[in-house]
Structure 1
Amino acid sequence: MARPQVPAADQTLRILRHLARRPAPIAATALARELGIPRSTVYHLLATLEAHGFVVHLPQERRWGLGTSAFELAGGYARQEPLARLGRPILAALADRVGESAHLAVMSGRDVLYIVEERAARRPALVTDVGVRLPAHLTATGRAMLAALPRAQVRALYPDAHAFTDRTGSGPVRPSELREVLREVRQTGLATEDGEVTPGFRSVAVAVHDHGGWPIAAVAVTWEGERDAPAETEVQEAARILQTRLGYDRR
């Protein structure tokens, strides 16, 4: 990695990113140790961030967490829709190359939410229009993202059979069946579904990850018929390109 031109800015951003990845606030001394930044520097930077509302000090716990200004940044990110804006041309190119419809989805609880759909020429309409929600455990996009989540989180989302919904009479209906599906996804790096969302249609998907390996979206292609996936490598490449454009290339 290149040496940062503005070390203070680099350290400040590292602190914010580290706080964002943690499940709970952290002591300044632990923050300094985990990031390898001098403790005095960490205290000065935290004081500046606190003055601007990006972090908050919890005096009773002697810990620091993210503040409301960080939440405002997240809201601005959502309003500007960079994921959809960056993903749309990539998916359009993917649909042109493989001759099948492509879509981009994000997780929303136990559902996936479709934020981009690019329909290939002379291909039928799908149920994956922008704004549509579908059960994550039935979709290729959902399975791609679920496979990248911590196993404890998957168990929390699907604690028992009551958490599973059905559309076509096929697909996992209990946690043990979902675990087997996700195990295969982790082994191959590809998620598939065959008629579990719409009879006669199949999909293949690949997750897009952030710096920490967290799934932020999934790219998929859907086609009609019994033939195999039209271009698995094309879907993988589209996911890799989007990951790089978002600044999350981990290679």
Structure 2
Amino acid sequence: MTASTIRALQRGVSVLQAVNKLNGARPADIADATGIPRASIYRLLETLEEMRMVYRDHFTNKWRPTANVRSLSSGFREEDWVCQNAVPHILELGRQVLWPVDLVTFRNNRMEVRESTHQISPYSVHSGIVGQEMPVMETASGRAMLAFMPEEERDALLALLSEVTGRLPPFLMRDGELAVILERVRELGVGFRKIDFTPETGSISAPIWHNQRILACVTVVWSTKALQLERAIELYRDKLFETADAISRELSKSSEPQKVTSLLCARRDDLGTVRLADRVENNVTMAHERLYSEQKN
């Protein structure tokens, strides 16, 4: 590695640190913070954008870090940390409602199912759900995230999603204009989906908070042949609130992300499957079968 290569790397890291610290900076701001000439700042930002480490907010011309930046310092441990704390609670919610319950996080401009009770729910309509990526604006979890995040962040994210998807404001969904939908989400306290994405299912989703940030969402999914949205909200919204609040409290008691110990939080292998120990999976499945049998009787 040559001296010029090392210097370029040093400058790239300095720019990334500045963008991450300022969380919304113009090239001039970054140049002032780093002492790097502005012409070099532009080239470095373009390279970091190609690496999907930063993106430009086209409304304000400010550069911001993407979720990929977290992989440099924590290997996405924050998401694993949420997963570790959330799994017991989503299992309990699954035992109460019997319908599948998902833990969903935002990653790379999509919503991703990190954990799910689909494989052990007696009413599951899908399999292999963990690892599935879903659109933001059409899903209950994405709508919950958009509705309750700060306005400036929401505007920046919608601008980015518009660029990525080609959709333009006012973002007309199959069930209405996005802004109207998000206002309804705020009134209900939960994100909802009843038409878009997978019409055979509906869902409602509540955000999980930590330090005034939304880290993930808990989602209940049901068959639209069995339930209408209004009835599902009546039956499950309070339980969903309780679960999301319990996870948020759990996170507030934990000082920092920890190494994942729960087998239910094991990372996916290259095929996108979750490696669960047979003994754990069998025990949980048997417990759900007993509960289902008791409720039927």
Corresponding residue for 1:83?
82
Q: Which ranges of structure 2 fall in alignment gaps of 5 or more residues?
A: 1-19, 26-32, 37-69, 255-297
RMSD: 3.2
Amino acid at match of 1:199: P
Corresponding residue for 1:107?
106
Corresponding residue for 2:206?
206
Q: Deviations over 1:170-190 (max 9, x none)?
A: 345xxxx11111111122211
Corresponding residue for 1:247?
252
- 8 Å contact kept, 2:208–2:218: yes
SS in 2 for 1:126: coil
Instruction: Establish whether residue 170 from structure 1 lines up as the match of residue 169 from structure 2.
Output: no
Alpha-carbon shift at residue 86 of structure 1 (Å): 1.5
Amino acid at match of 2:244: A
Q: Which ranges of structure 1 fall in alignment gaps of 5 or more residues?
A: 1-19, 26-57, 62-69
Corresponding residue for 1:226?
227
**1:94-173 residue pairs with structure 2 within 5 A?**
94-119=93-118, 121-126=121-126, 129-159=129-159, 160=162, 162-163=166-167, 170-171=174-175
Q: Deviations over 1:87-112 (max 9, x none)?
A: 11111110001111100101124310
- 8 Å contact kept, 1:88–1:118: no
Corresponding residue for 1:10?
none
Amino acid at match of 2:241: Q
SS in 1 for 2:124: coil
Alpha-carbon shift at residue 130 of structure 1 (Å): 1.2
**In structure 2, C-alpha distance between the alignment counterparts of 1:248 and 1:21, rounded to whole Å:** 25
Amino acid at match of 1:91: I
Alpha-carbon shift at residue 231 of structure 1 (Å): 1.3
Q: What is the TM-score of this pair, normalised by structure 2?
A: 0.53
**In structure 2, C-alpha distance between the alignment counterparts of 1:112 and 1:245, rounded to whole Å:** 22
Amino acid at match of 1:108: R
**In structure 1, C-alpha distance between the alignment counterparts of 2:253 and 2:145, rounded to whole Å:** 16
Alpha-carbon shift at residue 248 of structure 1 (Å): 7.0
Alpha-carbon shift at residue 199 of structure 1 (Å): 1.6
Amino acid at match of 2:181: V
Alpha-carbon shift at residue 73 of structure 1 (Å): 4.5
Q: Deviations over 1:181-231 (max 9, x none)?
A: 1111122211111132212311111001121x2211000101113332131
**In structure 2, C-alpha distance between the alignment counterparts of 1:76 and 1:111, rounded to whole Å:** 15
SS in 2 for 1:231: helix
User: How many residues were matched structurally?
Assistant: 182
- 8 Å contact kept, 2:82–2:215: no
- 8 Å contact kept, 1:111–1:136: yes
Alpha-carbon shift at residue 147 of structure 1 (Å): 1.0
